[in-house]
Amino acid sequence: MTSYKAGLSKDGHIYTRQNGLVGGLHTYAVIEPESKIQQADDGDVWEAIVVGAGYAGLIAARDLVKAGKKTLLLEARDRVGGRTWSAEIDGTTFEMGGTWVSHVHGRLFAELQRYGLKDDITMTRTPGGGCSYFTLDTGSGSRKLSLEEAGEMTARAWRIFISIDGNEGRSICPLPFSSLGNLRVSPEEVKAVDQLTCRDRLNQVKDKLSADEMALIESLVPHCGGGSVEDMGFLEMLRAQALQGYIPETFEDIWTLYKIREGQSTLARRIFDDAVRLGLQYSFKTPIKSFVEKEGVVSLTTGTGKTYRATRVVNTIPLAVLPTIHFDPPLSPLRQEAINIGQLNYLTKIHAEVEGDLRGLRGCTWPGDFLYVYGDGYCAGGKTTRITSFAGDNRGKLDPLKEPEKLETALKRFHPMEIKKVVFHDWISDPYSMCGPAWYRAGYLTKYLPELQKRHGNVLMANADWASGWRAFIEGAMEQGALAADTVMEEVGIRGANVAKST
């Protein structure tokens, strides 16, 4: 069991019919004291300031202080983890944002191994659990399928949908970490595919799909990326296919099965505590309003008007929030265009505690307020089940903060259930996220990704929203944080061991 004590964060909500909607959940991610800065002079210049304590910021800050760099971490929230954190409610862990881990996520599993968590893994679905079937509720009606039948139907539809090159994506996306720069396919070929929306691709293959298979793809696309088939770039789906090994059978194992037993906040805390042990200084509840660079020094002004200065800054603020931040000198016109267009992920993630054993339940509703449901193991005590469900972009249709009672109605469409409580974090209304992790519309990746990854003077941009590999995943955040830290170390100065003396 974890040694951490859960503190009360302002983030997250719990809804019950008895008490209505209540804000604030307990989590291991809350940091107390909220500030630890030993520098006395506001005019001092840090070697590095890291903005944001999500996984990108935590990795960058840890690596920098481990290399001996004088580093300050500034975070707007009262906790670590950013868009990944776990709440602790009556002995049960609920993952509020990023959740699942996989052995194909090399950076993430290296961190799990580093902090003694590589074997502390559990599964979302329980073999032999109650209600072990798939409910399919589409325009064709509602019925139950075996998990095997549902898996075979989904895999067949996905193969037809994804194999635009007749090779399940291998020809167009042979190296998904290098979408534009690999040796096997020209940038022009990739750009041509990037112009297609998922709807464009579905129109190409609709005669090969049954009505239910079409519904499965139309629901699976927003389940993955929070947009819709109308605007989601098909290249985004093709990259997902490549990253998971080019076969749909690996989707569940890689995307939605394994998770940290004690919650993602346990790993985030261990990285943060390690960095503090190594000398990291920090301040939480410290949102940044502006970055101003002059004569090689970057000045960061907070919401309270306080200013911090550094020779290098690692900025992990998400894509959707960047338009609220002032930069001087201004961002490039192309980057400004990219962030003003923005991304598509307005997905909603909802948990519920329900009576009885629904650990084996899975299902899809389309169209519907929710897309997919997963039985997610017993809650503490072993008499109720935790379930996890995802909605697509429901803006203007279902607001969990204004109409939380509708969440119960949407969940019961999957299966009759007695709901004790509903738990969620509304990422869309959160001022420090404004939506989920980034998925791109058609044409966006090939036009804007290289620009989003560029530095802005002495501000290094590091966020999973523009990762080269597992974009929108924890793995992608760690990629970006580590790369930014390496750049800072190279430029600020690292003296290796056994360096030859100059003559």
pLDDT of residue 38: 85
DSSP label at residue 368: S
DSSP letter string, 227-268: S-TTTBBHHHHHHHHHHTTS-GGGHHHHHTTEEETT-HHHHH
> Does residue 239 sit in the same domain as residue 275?
no
399 located within any domain: no
Assess contact for 297 and 444: CB atoms under 8 A.
no
Please provide residue 490's backbone torsions phi and psi, each rounded to the nearest 5 degrees: -65, -40
pLDDT of residue 181: 82
Tell which residue, 223, 436, 235, 457, has the closest CA to residue 346. Answer: 436
pLDDT of residue 102: 94
Assess contact for 298 and 457: CB atoms under 8 A.
yes
Q: Per the structure, how many domains does the chain have?
A: 2
pLDDT of residue 44: 87
Instruction: Return the structure tokens found at 403.
Output: 């109409």
pTM for the whole structure: 0.96
135 located within any domain: no
- Interatomic CA distance for residues 373 and 391, integer angstroms: 9
**CATH number of residue 226's parent domain:** 3.90.660.10
In tens, the pLDDT along 193-237 reads 999 999 999 999 999 999 999 999 999 999 999 999 999 999 999
pLDDT mean over 419-445: 97
- Interatomic CA distance for residues 258 and 125, integer angstroms: 9
- Residue 458, amino acid: N
Instruction: Return the structure tokens found at 122.
Output: 């559990």
238 located within any domain: yes
Q: Residue 1 pLDDT more than 90?
A: no
pLDDT of residue 237: 96
> Does residue 162 sit in the same domain as residue 232?
yes
> Does residue 199 sit in the same domain as residue 247?
yes
The whole domain housing 167 covers 153-255
pLDDT of residue 42: 55
Query: What is the H or E stretch that residue 134 is in?
Result: strand 134-138
In 276-407, at which residue ranges do the beta strands (DSSP E only) sit?
A: 281-283, 288-294, 297-302, 307-315, 326-328, 348-355, 362-365, 372-378, 384-391
CA dihedral for 225, 228, 230, 231, sign (positive or negative): negative
DSSP label at residue 107: H
Q: What are the angstrom distances between the C-alpha of 356 and each of 108, 372, 389, 481? A: 34, 20, 17, 42
Which of 208, 232, 255 is a domain's end point? Answer: 255
Helices (H) and strands (E) in the chain, counts: 13, 23
- Residue 386, amino acid: R
More reliable by pLDDT, 332 or 496: 332
Please provide residue 378's backbone torsions phi and psi, each rounded to the nearest 5 degrees: -70, 150
> Does residue 157 sit in the same domain as residue 250?
yes
Terminal-residue alpha carbon distance, the chain: 56
393 located within any domain: no
Cis amide linkage into residue 329, ω under 30° from 0: yes
137 located within any domain: no
> Does residue 453 sit in the same domain as residue 323?
yes
Which of 208, 226, 255 is a domain's end point? Answer: 255
What integer best gives the mean pLDDT of the chain?
95
458 located within any domain: yes
DSSP label at residue 136: E
> Does residue 198 sit in the same domain as residue 280?
no
In tens, the pLDDT along 142-187 reads 999 999 999 999 999 999 999 999 999 999 999 999 988 888 999 9
pLDDT of residue 317: 98
Tell which residue, 228, 220, 229, has the closest CA to residue 202. Answer: 229
pLDDT mean over 298-309: 96
164 located within any domain: yes
Q: Residue 277 pLDDT more than 80?
A: yes
Q: What are the angstrom distances between the C-alpha of 4 and each of 170, 269, 270? A: 45, 9, 10
Please provide residue 47's backbone torsions phi and psi, each rounded to the nearest 5 degrees: -70, -40
DSSP label at residue 377: E
> Does residue 165 sit in the same domain as residue 237?
yes
In tens, the pLDDT along 33-42 reads 999 998 655 5
Q: How confident is the model at residue 94 (pLDDT cuts 50, 70, 90)?
A: very high
> Does residue 162 sit in the same domain as residue 250?
yes
357 located within any domain: no
pLDDT of residue 473: 97
Per cent of the chain over pLDDT 70 is 98
Residues 6+ apart with CB under 8 A from 62: 271, 272, 274, 275, 278, 280
> Does residue 314 sit in the same domain as residue 236?
no
pLDDT of residue 40: 53
**CATH number of residue 485's parent domain:** 3.50.50.60
> Does residue 332 sit in the same domain as residue 210?
no
Residues 6+ apart with CB under 8 A from 477: 54, 55, 56, 59, 82, 84, 316, 463, 464, 467
Q: How confident is the model at residue 304 (pLDDT cuts 50, 70, 90)?
A: very high
> Does residue 217 sit in the same domain as residue 276?
no
Q: For the CA atoms of 47, 48, 49, 55, what is the dihedral angle to 10 degrees? A: -160
pLDDT mean over 75-88: 98
> Does residue 293 sit in the same domain as residue 330?
yes
Which of 255, 283, 309 is a domain's end point? Answer: 255
